[in-house]
Amino acid sequence: MFLVKGTNLLHKELFIIILLSVDMKEEAFLYLFLGVTHTELLKIGLEQFNTISVLYGDSFEVLTKQHHLLDWFDSIHFPATLPAIVAVDTKDTAVEDFFKQGTKVKFLKFAYGFAGEYVYAVDSLDDVKRIVKEIHEKDIITQPGQTTRKWIVQDMVEDIALLDGYKFHLRVWLVVVVREKETSVYISNYHTYELAKERYDVKRLKEKPVWDSHKYQNTRTAVFPMELPDHWSATDGANAMESIKSSFKTIYEHHHQFKPSYKLKNGFAIFGADVLLDSKQNPYILEINSRPALYKTFDSMIPEYFHLALGGAPMKLFSTLYGIPEGRTTPFSKPLETFYKTIYPSISALNTAVETTFLVPFDNDSYRGYLLYQNMIRKKVHRVTKKKHRTSLVK
C-alpha cells in the first residue's frame, strides 16, 4: 500500500490514474492532508504500507534547515553559495565585520521564514539590530514549531541575470527516493522562473518589490531553459544547467542519509530548491524546501514524481542525479507511457500542448505525457473522477 501526504486533489487523482495504469489497485492508496503529525500517522498503522511520502534522517535536517545548510556550505567552501553569516546575537563582532566586506546591501533572513517571509534588505548593522528587536518583541520566534532564534545575513548579488528586466530565481525540483534502503536522487530538466514584482534597479535594492522573487510577486510564467534570461544564448543556458546539476550532485554525494517514516523500507520526498543566477551563468543555491508548493506551471511533472517514487526510472522531465542502483527491480508491469497515452487523443493535441507549455516541439509519440497542459489534464482527470465516484471507488 502507498501513503501520500498532500493537499491537491488533482494530484490525488493523477496518482490514482498512475496506479491503475500500471496494474495496481486504487484501494492500495491512501491520501492524507498535510499537517498530519507523526503520532497521528502511527495511529493508522504504518506497518500496512510499503511506501510513504515522508523522509527523515540526518541529511533531511541539514539540507532543509537554511542555517544548517549555510553552515555546511561554509565548512566545505561550497562555490555555489553566497557569502553569509549565521548568528543569534547582534552584539556578535563577526556580524559587524561581515558588513565591512562583500555587497553593500545584504539580506537579513530569519531561520523560520517560509516563502519569502521574514526576509529584509539591510545595509547596516543598525538595520539588523532594529529588525531583530522588532521580530523578537512580536514573539514570532515562539510560534508553534519554531525551535531556533538564529538569523542569517547574506550578500545580495547585484550583477544578476534578468528575465525581461525582472530579477528572478529558479525553482529546481528534486525527488529523493529510498527503496529497499537504497537512495536515489533525481533533478528536473526544466525549472520554473519566480519573478519579482517590479523591474530590477540596482539603485533600489532596499525596496522589496524589486528583489523579492517569490511566487505570486509576478504572474509571468516561464520555463528555463526553454525561455532564456535577457541576452543569453542557448550555450549560456546549457552551461548554467550543467552548473546547477553539478552543484546538486555535489550536495547529494555528501548528503544522502534519508530514511522513511517508522520502519518502512520505501519512502520519497519532493524538494524545491531556490537557485539564483548571475549574469555569468553562475548558480547560487539559496535554500532547499521540504514543503515546496507544486505550482500549476509544473502540474505536468506530477506523474513523473510519483513514477519515480514508486520505483520507476527517470524518463524525460527528470534525470538521475545520484545513486540509482543497477538492476533495480520496480513494481511496474507496464511503462508509464501507458498512463500518458490516456491523456492525449492524438499527436496533434500533443504538439499543441507542448508549444503552449514548453515552447518547443516534441515529436516523439512516447513522450506525449510530458506535455500535460493544465486545462487538458484537469478536464480529463475530472471526467475520470466523476466516473469513479459513480462506481463508489473513490472513498
35, exposed or middle or buried, with CB in 10 Å at 0-12, 13-18, 19+? exposed
Top mean pLDDT of 35-44, 209-218, 350-359 is at 209-218
Q: Higher model confidence: residue 233 or residue 221?
A: 233
* CATH class given for the domain over 83-155: alpha beta
Q: In which residue ranges of the chain is CATH 3.30.1490.20 found?
A: 83-155
Distance CA 166, CA 168 (A): 6
- Greatest C-alpha distance within the chain: 68
Pair type for strands 191-195 and 182-188: unpaired
pLDDT reading at 308 higher than 80:
yes
Angle separating helix axes 9-21 and 374-390, nearest 10 degrees: 70
Q: In which residue ranges of the chain is CATH 3.30.470.20 found?
A: 162-322
pLDDT of residue 133: 87
Distance CA 376, CA 395 (A): 25
Given the candidates 3.30.70.2750, 3.30.470.20, 3.40.50.970, 3.40.30.10, the CATH classification of the domain at 162-322 is 3.30.470.20
Mean pLDDT of the residues in the chain: 76
pLDDT reading at 268 higher than 70:
yes
**In terms of pTM, does the model score above 0.95?**
no
Percent of the chain with pLDDT over 70: 63
Q: Residue 270 carries which side chain, given as an amino acid letter?
A: I
Cβ partners under 8 Å of residue 260, min gap 6: 51, 52, 54, 55, 56, 178, 266, 267
Counting every residue written for the chain, the total comes to 395
Split at pLDDT 50, 70, 90, the class of 237 is: very high
Bridge partners (DSSP) listed for residue 217: none
Q: Among 108-122, 159-173, 219-233, 349-363, where is mean pLDDT lowest? A: 349-363
